[in-house]
Structures are given as structure tokens and as C-alpha cells.
Structure 1
Amino acid sequence: MQFKQYKELTEREGQLQGDMKNFILSALRANGGRITYISPNADDDETGLDDKYPVISALYGKHGTYNVAITDVYLQEQEHCPVQVYADGIEQESEIKQEGFLIYPEQFSDIIHFITAPIREGIHSYAERLALKDLVDKYNKLPQDFYSRNGGIKHEYHSENRENIQKYTKELEDIYIQCSEPEQDKNGINSDLMAIISDLADLALIEQNQLPMSEMIEDEGEGNGVRFTEKTQDEFNGLYDEIEGQIWEFMGFEGIIS
């Protein structure tokens, strides 16, 4: 029985590694053969590599194994040889840039995490904003009222905020996947995104004016939503258009704009 399970597991592992390699090759070829991650905190001496870069992987070098914060993944093709995947990065102990690490099957999952990092980070960022909007709406406070001195969400809101982030992460992941599938109903996707964009624009408007939403509306009619003052409406429209463009670009979906 154990040997049978061993055979089944190794066969599944081989198939999975083949699928992962095909995914990596396809992603790299779609990006000109190289994907580079430029850390926004690269020059911050107080931030560790694990916070600066999305993936630290154990890679095999000429003189041993190194923990490397990956910065580049790329293809190298040589005549009469199969295409190979290589990575460059910053070695964790010395913090010196190292190049030319050949990627082996056991490292494919790390490479996929690296390739998809911008998508995952973008989804998480939007989910955090939507979760904050929920707190603002529920407690009728300004966004900054939910943060502690160290920049994190205050303890009394932390559990609720984490649950909301998880909820919105799942919703945004589903929408992102739908946007990448050509047979999906684009009208349904567009409707979902418009609601998200509206919430994000509301939050940006509150932050811009440093006023709760209740002080920026004239009335709230039944079935008609809120009615902004003329000045506030113009501000909201500008923020909405800006965020809409960012969302469409991020999702890779042009949307259906009437």
C-alpha cells in the first residue's frame, strides 16, 4: 500500500511540476522573457529583505545553497538545449546582488509566487481599503481614527478588519479570475466593479476632506442613495474616474462604460 501511494504521489508531483514549468514559461514569454520586481522600499535601511521583496527562495549556487530575495526571473535559450529558467536576486546574509541561479523543479512554486506577486499585492491593497471603508461606515469615524501610533489597525478593530480583508480578498480574486476568462458575462463583472469603485471613491473623498460622509451630503432620499453637495459631487466624480481607470488597468478589463 505504501509503495503504491509513493508511486501515485511521485507521478502527481511530476505532472504538477510540468504544469508549473509551462505556466512559468508562458508568463515569461508573454513579458519578453523577463519579469523584474522593483521594490518600493529598496533603499529603506530599516526594512528587512523579507518586507522589501515578495519571495525569498533557497537557490543553488556554485558554492552552495543561498537564501535569495528574488528580483528577476528570465529565460535563457541555447542552441540544441531546452530553454531554462534563471533568477537573479539579493543574497540574504550578505545583501549583495547575485545573478544566474538556475531554477530547478523544487523551486517552481517560489517562482510562481514571484510572478504573481503584483496581482496578489494589488488585490490585498484594494481589500484593505474596502475593509477600512466598512469600519468607517459602521462606526462613523474618520479613517485615521482606526490606526494606532505604529500604523497598524487598533486592537479593538483588528479581528473585524482581518475578517473583512479576507472577505474582500476572496471577492476580488474571483472578479480577477472572471476578467481573465473571455466567455464570462462582462456586464455582471462591470456591475460588481462599479460598486467597488464607488466604495473606494467614497473612502478617498472622506480622506481628502477629512469629514465624515454625513457632512458632505445634502440629503439621503429613499431609493436614490446619497445626494452630494455640488462641490463634493465634482470631487467624487474626479476620484471615481481616477480609481475606475486604475481598477480597469489592474484587472486587465476595459469594462463597459455607458
Structure 2
Amino acid sequence: MPEPAPSGGPSRLLLALVIGGAVVVLGIVVLLVALLRGGGGGGSAGESVSPSPRDSASEAAAARNLADRVTLTTADWGPGFVRSDPYESTSLNELTVKDTCELADRKARPGTLAVLTRTSVNNDDGLTAVSETRAYADQPAAEKFVADTQDSLHRCSTQTYGKVRWEDVREAVAPDVNGFDELVSEESRQVTYDDGSKADLIYISVMGRTGDTVLNTWVAGPPDSESKLRKLVTDGLQLMRQRLTSAGATAPYTSPTATYR
């Protein structure tokens, strides 16, 4: 398994490595490589950006507190899910999709105040579920993050990271989830694991932006679980939006009534 790399936005790679490990070591929660894809604009590996002067310590602390209240926990995904190991990532870094359609690491963009990612797995069903909250200093920074992610979907229908390969990477029709200024849904198929062996997994992600905050849920699993995956990402994103509205309410999970188009 590759060494852990910086985290960013929605990531098929994170799910690929978690599920790939589960295949090799049956019944054991695999080592999570907290590598999340986001900010999909082209660029070279190791590209760095300077922190925004607006990113004050007080703003960052408030953003971290918000992310902790909003991001889903293992219990929110439902019965059968357990914490991955590690369970949380707070890295501000991102992953970029280069012009060659390869994934590469880069430092956080200006205006990134806080990022919290939590990952859970259901070993019995072969599912991996991730939720993430990204808080920015202003709305333009959040808008640019979403725009970069969409750009990578339109540029590269096949994407790779080492021997891991995804095909049919595309922007899909977003579900009906209320309360967002923007919604972006991504789907793809993972066809190889990190050791180059054959894989057959589907990946579904839904990202929603409201003001200067970006919320994201994404799941992966076998093809026969597609309907369940769609419900999980949609319900999960709706719950995160409800928590954001109520400034971090921690009410027990209830299945929203969002309908996937």
C-alpha cells in the first residue's frame, strides 16, 4: 500500500485503497490512506500555495469547531459500519488532477480554514463511506474549489494514481438535496487495485456548496450495491446540511426524504 498522502476533496483513491486492502485481508479493517481528491485543476505534483492573510487563528478555530459538528460519524451511516483506522483526517492539503490525468499532491489553496474527513467501513457488505466538511475564508474560495473539481471531471474520463485506475469518470446528475447553492455529483468505476490486480467497484460522490462551506459524501462498493450507495450519499449529504443549518446539532440520524433523479 502506498505511503499516506495529503488529503483534499472527494477521493476515489481513498476508497480504492481501503477496499483493496479489505480484499487482501478478509475481515480486518484495513489501514486507511487518508488521501482525498479535490481541487481538480491541472498542476504539477508538489505545487504549493501561500496561506491567505485572512486566515486568522480565530477564524480557523471557529471553522474547525463547525466541521466537527457537521461531519458525519460512523453511527450516521447506519448498522454494520465501523470506524476505519485512522478514522479522522484534518489535513488541509489537496490532490490535483494533472493535465496527464494523473493524481498528484499539492498544498492547500489560499483561504482554506479547516477540513475534517471521517471514514467508516462496512466489512460485511464491502462498503466504504466518507464524509467531509471544508470551510473557507470566503465564498469565492469555496466556489473555486468546486469549479476545479468539475473541471477535472470534464477533462479526464480515465484517471490514475500509480497502478490504481478509474474509468468512466464523469459528472453525473445531482440528487435533489435542498439548501445548497451548488451541487456536483461524480461517478466512476475502479478497474484496478494499487497492486495492479483487477477490480470491479463503483464510486459515487455528491458535493454541495452553501456559501463558504463545502460538504461532501462519497461511497464505494460492488456493482450490485448501486442503489444502496446512491441512498447513502444522498441521505448523508442531507443530514450534513441539516446540521450546518442548525449550527451543529447532534440529533440522531434520520433518513431524509431526498429523491435521486
**TM-score above 0.5:** no
Relative contact order (C-alpha < 8 Å, sep 6+): which is higher? 2
Larger radius of gyration: 1
Structure (1 or 2) with the greater helix fraction: 1
Q: TM-score, normalised by structure 1?
A: 0.23
